[in-house]
Amino acid sequence: MGIVAGLDSAPDFTRIVVCDTDTGAVLRQGYAPHPIDGAEGGGRPSDVDPQAWLLSLGEAAGGGLLEGVQAIGVSAQQNGLVPLDPQGNTVRPAMVGGDKRAQVAAADLIDALGGREAWAQAVGSVPGAAQPVTKLRWLSKTEPEAARRTSMLLQAHDWLVWQLLGRPVRRTTDRGGASATGYWSAATGAYRQDLVELALGHQAGLPDVLGPYEAAGTTPEGLLISAGTGETMAAAFGLGIGLGDAVVSLGASGSVMAVHPEALADSSGMITSLADATGMHLPVVTTLNAVRALRGTAELLGVSDLEGLSELAMKSTPGSHGLVLLPYLEGERTPNLPHTAGTLAGLRRESMKPEHLARAAFEGMLCGLADALDVLRGRGVDVRRIFLLGQAAELPAVQAVAPALFGAQVVVPQPADYAALGAARQAAWALGVSRGTLDPRTPPMWQGPVAQVLEPGDELAVGQAVRQQYVSVREQTHPGAFRA
């Protein structure tokens, strides 16, 4: 069939991969940082001129990178709200990231609809500071003039697709991106304009939601542009996960997502019910504490890096000589304990050694993520294989502990830009369907990622005993807080 490209417009950079349509083999790639000034205090800015994304895209595509490409897919950071006026111009910079400014607005919205359960039933998620619906509420309360001028709402990948197509009258999105807005329901496949009005103060135009294999359009040069999607959905598609698979992502905070055939409404708000890039669903559970618990422990022990902490932990034994760390250092979302602190239990003379605390940090972090997995399993989500992502996934202590604690096969893929690969795979699907060479129900079968495969094996019983030790301490310290 030829070659396709996938571009991932992440918070800090654009990466482009050019792939063979039949196998997914990467033929060439480009990269460019976004030309964005840092926020006050050196953090990532919450307001970004979308033109920076286009400039970065153009630089990444330089040197003839896209020569011969027949279709492009776009992945972009989720939760980036781009408000447009009636002429299609931005009324203010795009609002991106977690955006802590919007925390009060999230609480306002939850109360305005009647509580967390009302939101979970309406759109499959409870508003948080990151979601576009919450940013709309903040906009209406803080910048009312900009809110009044807002007549169309796009996310980052919607805006980029629209720009690549030459800003046509029709604006589009996909199920994955729409499901992250807080005003589209993955369960019903429909927008909730009443929630847009509740947040913004008036109704606004929303992009058409395309199916997974549909094209957003074709450029005047004949280049097909697929629907595009959010980074989470694109990465899942790039990894090739399907029913029975879950992805555990180890960042400062953690997340667990899995493929499921139906949307899950969770009145507790622990599950965010997203749609994926294939027509299925992608329930997600997040924890506030993952690698930050490891870094905190390393600092406490005077260890310079996570590799050193891992080496120290491997000198201990499963169960850390009875030490248990509940790693709720920033409060916690799963279970819902926003104002709590971490707990170190099981202190005895023989357990008060650096190697035991180091191992307790790894076991505590992974047990916290196992709790998140149990939330999904408790709702009937099948989890037989777990993809472990993030830099910490390469640490020997993580790989030694995770399979037995999770009770499943663990796959550690080699680092790659799976979001860009997923965008390219989506482009290949749309191209194949448009030419009649691919079934709309079946995406192209690309090569899976190069990965290590780790089995629980004989350590399963030991791992489950460690997990039970953790659960006992959690229940004693926070009785009834966690119900999978």
Is residue 273 classed as helix, strand or coil in its secondary structure? Answer: strand
Structure pTM?
0.93
Burial class (CB in 10 A: 0-12, 13-18, 19+), 354: middle
Could you give the CA distance from residue 112 to residue 119 in angstroms, rounded to a whole number?
Answer: 10
Residue 481 has a pLDDT of 87
Q: What is the pLDDT of residues 196-219, one digit of tens each?
A: 999 999 999 999 999 999 999 999
Which tokens sit at 356?
A: 């035991």
Q: Which ranges of 181-279 does DSSP label H, i.e. alpha helix?
A: 193-200, 231-239
- List all residues 6 or more positions away from 240 whose beta carbon is below 8 Å from its beta carbon: 446, 448, 449
Residues 387 and 257: beta-carbon distance below 8 Å: no
Question: Locate tokens 């120290």: which residue?
Answer: 312
Residues 309 and 361: beta-carbon distance below 8 Å: yes
Residue 37 has a pLDDT of 64
Residue 240 has a pLDDT of 96
Q: What is the pLDDT of residues 158-187, one digit of tens each?
A: 999 999 999 999 999 999 999 999 999 999
Question: Locate tokens 């807005």: which residue?
Answer: 181
Is residue 57 classed as helix, strand or coil in its secondary structure? Answer: helix
- Positive or negative, the CA dihedral 215, 219, 221, 223 is negative
Residue 44 has a pLDDT of 60
Parallel/antiparallel/unpaired status of strands 281-287 and 254-258:
antiparallel
Which tokens sit at 64?
A: 């003839």
Q: What is the pLDDT of residues 433-477, one digit of tens each?
A: 999 999 999 999 999 999 999 999 999 999 999 999 999 999 999
Residue 98 has a pLDDT of 77
- List all residues 6 or more positions away from 476 whose beta carbon is below 8 Å from its beta carbon: none
pLDDT at 39 over 70: no
Which tokens sit at 139?
A: 């906009």
CB atoms within 10 A of CB 465: 13
